[in-house]
Structures are given as structure tokens and as C-alpha cells.
Structure 1
Amino acid sequence: MIQMLHSTRSMIAATVYAAIAMLSVHAFAADRPNIVFIFTDDHCQQALSAYDPSRVSTPNMDRIAREGMRFDRCYVTNAICGPSRAVIQTGKYSHLNGFATNRDRFNGDQQTFPKLLQAAGYQTAIVGKWHLVSTPQGYDYYDILQGQGPYYNPPMITAGEDGKPVTRRHTGYTTEIITEKTLSWLKEKRDPNKPFMVMYQHKAPHRDWRPAPKYLHWLDDVTVPEPETLWDNYDGRTQSAGRQSMTIKEHLTPRDLKLAGYGNMNDEQKKVWDAAYGPKNEAFEKAKPDMTEKEIIQWKYQRYVKDYLRCVKSVDDGIGEVLDYLDEAGLADNTVVMYSSDQGWYLGEHGWFDKRWMYEESLKTPLLARWPGTIAPGSTNNDIVSNLDFAETFLDIAGVPIPGDMQGRSLVPIFKGNTPNDWRQVFYYHYYENPGAHNVARHFGVTDGKHKLIHYYALEGKAINDWELFDLASDPNELQNVYGSSEHMSQQKRLADELERLRKQFAVPEDTDLGARQRNQRNKK
């Protein structure tokens, strides 16, 4: 009932705000900035050289940072693919937008920022990964992957001549196809007399990390540095850390490691693939009987991380093509470019791959923004910002009123170097998907960037009551839980109070198992 009432109010609010926005469309349409939002899947700060140059060079992403602003503390509300996307569409936490786990379906009838932009005279488009199950609403043009989408030869869904969704198959590398389609829309399909907002969204570098043909040998002669926590034994934390199933040691599959499977390739692509991986796999199988357990884990790490970085490299190439087009078309000076990902990722930290946790590597996501004349080139920011703020930011850039029921705040003042005095100092996080992939316990918590309090409340179908507190200054790798220690009691009490305050502020229901509740409701229909 609460969710139904909220949806009704959201639709009424969307209508009101759209009407207000329409009043001023013609007055300043020509002056409003365009927006290019570039989004990847599972890309961490550790694999973007503007943050960390030790693993990979990403010159085109770095260009956005060099010509704009790099955000060092962009936190996500729920570190998993679909829920992050739903937060961006709505500017609301998972418990209000109704998409808490990857098993949910996005209710496209609710208020979203592209609908408000569209009503205010913007052309809107989304190309690439959608991952919200329902057909996109609020977009003049969409061309999206089916579900996760494969790395090669992707089926993609777009509107047919009758306006209904149709699926079309493509041949080629998915990252390159998404870039080509985005450029095609920018060059040929949009009205040049109207401002636009395009969401240019990649599958990469999502599992199972299949590189483009041109990068199959890149990094072959390089040893990628291992993270210092690769050999973490989880002794310093609660039971949850040790009961996950996402270790490089045990849970990468032969498909992940390119020891089996092709992943939707045609015969010609398979030949190129086999020529690259066949000799490398043969060498591994020959050496394996004499390798120690540690050496095998190190081999897995190198294979995994190199393929991940190869996928990132193709994304960076595509971003360069889009930035070059904006320059060539004379659009760059009046176009805001933002780059981010749906959450962070583990490149071997804690011995893991994947995301989900409130630990730093998955809680933080990259955020780069360029706005010529507004954002100072080469600037950095350490405020606590979030994907919860993106919808409000897009609306503010466009001069569209921000609905009062959105839960984030516009980043435009920060873009201008004027962080509001009342900007958030503590951030709330909530992860719901357990039982589920990788067996990460359901948990919620708060952080101020210096200390972090996490409450684990369900694991493997059973209620638990585990708490972790980390002092990030003395323990940046989050290896030692200090919850309950007398030395940290004042910080524990302060964050516990903040946790209670923010749960009330964001109207988090006492029934925290939203995902199970929604599924039970659907099963009763």
C-alpha cells in the first residue's frame, strides 16, 4: 500500500513538474546545455588512470578529468547493476523506486528524470545496457541490449515503425557497436535545433570480460601488480566476509578464465579467439601439474585482471570517438559530459572479484564531469556525492525544477566550486540481494569517509545481527572490525545515531527485506 501511494504521488508530481517545465521551454531552449552521460558496468576507480595509473592507461577518460572535475568520493546507494540504474533514473533509493535486486522489474510508469527533460523540450536517448527489464520510457530513441547482453554479436531492442519494441541482431564487438549507435544518433537522428540528453551505456567491463579482437594480446608481456589484500583470510571481520562465494581462488569459472566457451561468437571470431588464447591456455595446462596453489591463484588473477583491463581499454577508445565528435561538431563548449559506473569492483582486493559490499572498492564508483566555462579544468572534489544525485544534477543543468520527492541533490553548485554549507557529511547504503549470487549478506550502514558502520541482518535465508565498524584512517583496507571496542565507542555511538536518523529521513521501511516482500506480493497475484 505504501509503495502504491508513493507511485501515485510520484506520477502526480511528474505531471505537475512537467507542466512547470514546459512553460519555459521556448524561452531558453537554444541556450540550455546538452548532456552526454557515459556509463559503464562494474568499472572501478582502480582501473581508471585518472585515479590509479598502476594498472591501465585510460587517456580518454582522463581527458574528461583533465578538462573537468574528478570526484574521489562518489558512493553508490546499492552496489549492484540494476538497482544502481534505477536510482539514477529516479533520484530515489531502492526501497522507493521499487528496484532493490537484479530479480526485480523497473516500474517505468513512475517519475524519472528523462521524462521531465523530455517534457521540457529535450531530446532524450539511451543506447547500450539498460538492464531494468521493462521497456524504457521517457526516451525519444532507445537501442538497448537484451538483459546483460553478450560481448559479441548482441541482439538489441529498439522501437519499430509501429512504436513497439523489436529485437535486431548485430555482428561485431558490443562495445564498438554501442559507440557506433551513439554516434549515429548524435550525427543523424537528433534535431540539431533542440538540446539533447543521451545516455551512452556500456556492458563492459562486466563479467565474463571478453576483449575485443584488437586487444586479445595486449598486456601479454606485462605482470599486473597484485593488490596487497589479495591473500586476505577474513579473520578480522564478521562471518559474512568469509562466507561469500566470489574469490579468485575458488569461484572464477573456466568460462571466466577463457579456458572454455566462446560467448556468442561466429566461426570467424572463434578462429581469432583460439589463435590468441589457445597457445596461452596450452602453456598453462602444461605447467599446471608443477604449480603450487599460490602460483595457480596468481595465474588466475593475471588472466582475470588482464581481460578486465582489455575490456576497459575498448570503452576508453569509444569515449575518445564521442569526445572527438563533440569537438568536430562544435558541440563541446555547450555539452556537459559525465562519466561514471554502476558501482565499483574488486580487482583482487580481499581475494575477490564482483561488488555488492559496502567496503570501499565497491561502495565508491568513478565520477568525472566536464562542463566548459563552469567546471574548472583539472579540479578534484572530496565531498560525499552519489549516484542518488545524478537525476537532480541533470535536471538542474537543464533548468528544470527538481521534484521535492527526489532524495539526492544537484551537483551543479559543486561543479561551480561552491559546495553548500549543508552538504551531506554522512552517507546511507543498503544492499538487499541475499539469497543471491555470491552470497553477500544483506546489509545497510553509514559512512562519513573516516569511519564506517555496517549492520548485516540476513545471510543464507536466516536473520543475523552482525556489526562491523572500521576506522578508515588507520585501517584503509578494512581488515579489522573494531565494533564494540572502548577506544572507538564514541564514533560507534555517533554513527549509530546517524544511521537511525538517515533511515528515518529516507523513509526506509522497518521491513528491510523489500526484495522478498515484493516477490511474495507478485507470487500472490
Structure 2
Amino acid sequence: MRITKTLFNNSLRSAFFGVLFFVHLAEADAQQKAQTAKRPNIVIIISDDHAYQAISAYGSKLMQTPNIDRIAKGGVTFNKAYVTNSICGPSRAVILTGKYSNKNGFKDNENSRFNGDQDSFIKQLKASGYLTAWIGKWHLESQPQGFDYWEILPGQGSYYNPDFLTMDGGKKKVEGYVSNIVEDETESWLDKRDKSKPFCLVIGHKATHRTWLPDTCDMGRFDKTTFPLPHDFYDNYANRIAAQQQEMSIAKDMQMGYDLKMLQPGEEEGTINRMNAAQRQKFDAYYKPIQADLKARHLSGNALAEWKYQRYMRDYLSTATSLDRNIGRTLDYLDKNHLTENTIVIYMSDQGFYLGEHGWFDKRWMYEESFRTPMVMRYPGVIKPETKSEDFVMNVDIAPTMLDAAKVAIPKDMQGESMLPLFNNKKAKGRDEMYYHYYENGEHAVSPQFGVRTKRYKLIRFYKRVNNWELYDLQNDKGEMNNLYGKKGYEKITAELKNELNKQIDKYQDDDAKLVLTQK
């Protein structure tokens, strides 16, 4: 009997502790799920070459962008958001890694290939329990790593009936217009995801990249608008040698066929070749009468340059219309699925873009229209609606900000800074200076350059193609027309800025820039 009683007691004790163990596991699991539930979902929407000058949240009178404005109204408009390197692929590499180009290895679009083995904020989020996905334009010349799901456009992708590369190593062609398709694929993934986990989704839009080909429903949307010519459209680039040598002029370098769809017999542009019969019929019905009218007018000189500008603006803004509409679809999806209140939404371009300022299209420069990028962010409960930020922030800050929001430790080698203290810490102080380095030495004949921008001044060092300095007083010369470098009276500020430039080079460990400064 004693043996039986002892066995019975031991069994009871084992069962009791077993129950306690499972209760403890259940409580731990519940706590983990509760903690996970508190962590925000993240949606980052990255467009390509979208100018802040074309966004109504930034005061644009060129067009209305009601859906980008929805993000801004629900959160913050960053009026001083910038990039570290104003070109497509490098910007995406900076966003992923939180490191400057010299550290993440992707310096230009000509010779670089992203090393996916390196760390990224996506990998950190995935390791902490987030679902991760990238859908749309990738443009990093390698397969994405750290994502539970990806489906990407090869290279620049196509506006019509684009191909997508898939995780199984395949390729699929999807009928339709690329901005619509990227959103369709995004919503499909959101529908199928594991809804018990927080997610980080990057939506990569092709729009508004060259050749600015609108959806058929948007062709002609701005034809009744005559856009005012930028005051510096006929800039002569006095005392700015690098600007004199560029090949990104609307008047001289914008191509009639490739860019403006004024196709000669037998001439085709790649995306147009991909159109199906119905799409091509709409394309021809719109562009052929414009071409016939142009031919009858026999324009030349300034009249032709200004015609090209109007044609460029109409196509560019029509392409941006579809982009904004599909951003609205993303926001609507979050609303309908009760995700809005616990989801961070960021909209940004990979850099700024020229809409005729200085007579240009494209980007690359450390001048404001290129260096500065649109960025709006909504984070319910953390960022007050309709906030306007004048703090310097950069695309290198996205990675640490997302990790900070997700309560994940920020790796020490990330060079960006979390933006969240700007909203939850009254004593927080943003940057006083920003560092920039553009490396590419090919397309559009823009010289490699690096420099520093303070609240008032900008110092730029050009090298390789052009070997000189430029200095601007942004308070008195917002258009950066008057290069003050070497002028009497600016010796002190030049010395101070050179000292600051060296500090920034050391801070970001930019050995390439350091080497340039040691050469005569």
C-alpha cells in the first residue's frame, strides 16, 4: 500500500508540475503573441525618379496627388529628406542596409551588384519574427535575400505586360500596366500571408522612370494644361563647369522617339513592342495625331525645346497619376482589412528628379532637385497627423528607424539614425550636416562628386570628369546659380566647410573621397 500511495503521490506531483509547465509555456506564448501584436506592420512604397515638385503635399501646382497626400495628412511630411547617392540602385542598397554606398558596395548602376549576403534591416526583422516581402522593382542585379516572399521586375522592368522574376527561379509575363500589376501582386500576397505575424512589405514601383509611358486611361490627362517654364530653363551654367558638360538637357538630349514617342517609321521603343493589339491601338490613337501636328508646325530652336518640355511634363505627370492611384489602393486595402492603426506606411522616391529646372531631366547631382527626395510617413499613435518636419533626414535612416519601431536592436555598423526620437523625444536633435557621394562616371556625362550640406551652405567636390569645387549660399541662392568658391570674402566659410567635409568623410569611412582630397 505504501508503495502504491507513493507512486500515486509522485504521479500527482508529476502531473501538477506538468500542468504548470504547459501553463508557463502557454503564458510565454501568449506574452510573445501580445508583444508581437504591439509591433507595427511596415509598408514601404518606393517609386523611381518621382520629383517632390510633382507632389501636392509639397505644394506642387503641377498636379494633385491625393493618395500620397493621405499619408502626409495622417503623419509627417519631411520637407528636408535627402539621399546619400542620387541614383536608383545605390539608393535601394542604402535603404536596405542603412549604410552608405562605400560600405554596402553598391556604388553605381554600371558596375555594381548588390551583395545579398550582407546584413539588412529586412534580415533583422525576419529573424525577430516578421514576415518580409519585396514586390516590384528591385534593380540591384542580384536575387533578394532575407525575404519570405519576393517577385521582382528584371532590371528596370517594362511599363506594359512586364516580366516578373519569381522565387522558384522562373519568369512570368503578366498582361497589363505595371503600376496596376505591382499593386495586384501586393494585395495577393497580403491576402495569403500568415496573419498571426507582423509583416514588412516593400512595394517597388517602376513609375515614374524614363520613358514616362502612361497607362492608356491616363494618356492625354494633362493635354489642356500649359506648364509654366522654369525660370532657369535657359540656364547658361556660368562658373559651373560640371553643369556645362552634362548631357541631360531637355532641349539637346531628350530623344524625340525614345523619350517623347514621336516614332519614325520602323522605330520602336522596347516597352511599346510589348504592347498587345488593344494597347497599341490606344497608343497610336493618342500619339500619332500629336506627331502629325508637330510635323506640320516645323518647330526649331527655343520653340522646339519648349514643345519638348510640355510633352515631357504631360507624359511624366500622367505616369505619376497611375502611381498615386495605386498608392491609394494600398491604403484602401489597409483600411478595409483593419490594418491601418497598426501599420507604418512610408512613401518615398529613390531620389529627386528634374522637371525642367536648369533645362534638365534626370538626377545624379548634389543640387537640391536631385539630392532632395520626397518622403512622407504615417505611424498612428506615434506621429501626429499633419506634422511638418524641417529636420534633415536621409534614406540611410530608413533601416534603423524600422528596427527601432519593431523593437529590434539596431546593428552598430548601420550608419543611419532612427527618426523616431524626432517625434517622441522633445530634446532630440537632428543632423546639422549631411554627406553625399555620387560615383558614376558615364550616362548623362555627370561628373562624380561628393560634398557636405549644412543648414545654409553646400560645398561640392567634383572629380574624374571635372576637377573643381563649388560653394553655394542656399539662404540667398536657392536655385544654386552662383558658385561662390574662390570668391573674395568666402575664405572663412570655405575653410569651415572643408573641415566639416573631412569630418563627414572620416565619420562614414569614405576612403574613396579621402583619396581624392589627397590628390592635387
Give, in whole Å, the separation in 2 of the partners of 1:63 and 1:449. Answer: 29
Structure 2: how far apart are the matches of 1:378 and 1:229? 32
SS in 1 for 2:56: coil
> Are 2:47 and 1:40 aligned?
yes
SS at match of 1:405: coil
- The structure 2 residue matched to 1:457, chosen from 460, 463, 484, is 463
- Aligned alpha-carbon RMSD (Å): 1.6
Distance 1:222 1:511, change over 3 A: closer
1:54 and 1:225 in contact (8 A); partners too: no
Which residue matches 2:189?
185
Shift of 1:241: 0.6
- What displacement does 1:153 show? 0.7
Task: Select 2:401's aligned residue among 363, 377, 393.
Answer: 393
Answering whether residue 173 of structure 2 is matched by residue 169 of structure 1, we say yes
Between the aligned partners of 2:125 and 2:513, the Cα distance in structure 1 is 34
2:120 to 112, 121, 124: 112
Q: Does 1:441 align with 2:447?
A: yes
| CA distance 1:329–1:85, change in 2 (3 Å) | same
Alignment correspondent of 1:242: 244
Alignment of 1:306 with 2:314, yes or no, is yes
**Is 1:280 aligned to 2:290, yes or no?**
yes
Give the C-alpha shift of residue 200 in structure 1: 0.8
Query: Which among 263, 269, 280 is matched to residue 270 of structure 1?
Result: 280
1:28 aligns with 2:31: no
1:503 aligns with one of 484, 494, 505:
505
- Equivalent residue letter for 1:453: L
Unaligned runs of 5+ in 1: 1-21, 515-525
Offset of residue 292 of structure 1: 4.2
Matched, 1:134 2:142: yes
Aligned partners of 1:256 and 1:449: how far apart in 2?
37
Q: How many matched pairs? A: 478
Residue 63 (structure 1) aligns with = 70
Tell me, what secondary structure is at the counterpart of 1:50?
A: helix
Q: Deviations 1:240-274 (Å, cap 9, x if unpaired)?
A: 11101000011111210111235221222111100
Tell me if the contact between 1:376 and 1:416 (Cα under 8 Å) persists in the aligned partners: no
Q: 1:471 & 1:152 partners in 2: Cα distance?
A: 44
Q: Partner of 1:85: helix, strand, or coil?
A: helix
- The letter for the 2-side match of 1:429 is Y
Q: Percent identity?
A: 47
- Deviation at residue 416 of structure 1 after TM alignment: 3.1
In structure 1, give the amino acid aligned to 2:190: L
How far the C-alpha of 1:26 sits from its partner, in A, is 5.1
Q: Distance in 1 between matches of 2:91 and 2:436?
A: 12
Name the structure 2 match of 1:223. Answer: 226
Per the TM alignment, residue 486 of structure 1 is displaced from its structure 2 partner at its CA by 2.6
Tell me which moved more, 195-204 or 261-270: 261-270
Does the CA contact (< 8 Å) of 1:41 and 1:206 recur in 2? Answer: yes
**Per-residue Cα deviation, 1:117-154 (whole angstroms, up to 9, x for no partner):** 00000000111000001100011110100000011011
1:513 CA displacement: 8.5
1:369 Cα shift?
A: 0.4
Query: SS state of the match for residue 58, structure 2?
Result: coil
Within a 5 Å distance, the mapping from 1:404-419 to structure 2 comes to 404-416=412-424, 418=426
Q: What SS class does the counterpart of residue 463 from structure 2 fall into?
A: strand
SS of 1:485's partner is coil
Contact 1:37/1:338 (8 A) holds in 2: yes
Q: Which amino acid aligns with 2:179?
A: T
Matching of residues 373-392 of structure 1 within 5 Å: 373-392=381-400
Work out the CA distance in 2 between the residues paired with 1:513 and 1:102.
Answer: 22
Change (3 A) 1:25 1:367: farther
2:275 & 2:424 partners in 1: Cα distance? 47
Q: 1:153-178 CA deviation, whole Å, 9 max, x = no partner?
A: 11001112xxxx21111111001100
What is the aligned partner in structure 1 of residue 479 from structure 2?
A: 477
Residues 1:302 and 1:124: Cα distance change in structure 2 (over 3 Å): same
Q: How far does residue 306 in structure 1 lie from its aligned partner after superposition?
A: 1.1
Please name the residue that 2:490 is paired with: 488
- CA shift in 2, pair 1:123/1:419, >3 Å: farther
CA distance in 1 between partners of 2:123 and 2:427 (Å): 28
Match of 1:155 among 150, 163, 169: 163
- The letter for the 2-side match of 1:433 is E
How much has 1:417 moved relative to structure 2? 6.2
Contact 1:25/1:120 (8 A) holds in 2: no
TM-score, normalised to structure 1, is: 0.89
The answer (yes or no) to whether the contact 2:505–2:514 under 8 Å persists in 1 is no
1:344 partner SS: coil
In structure 2, list runs of 5 or more residues that go unmatched: 1-28
Change (3 A) 1:321 1:417: farther
Amino acid at match of 1:445: G
Note the C-alpha offset of 1:31: 1.2
**Kept in 2: contact 1:68–1:377 (CA 8 A):** yes
Alpha-carbon distance in structure 2 between the residues aligned to 1:43 and 1:292: 29
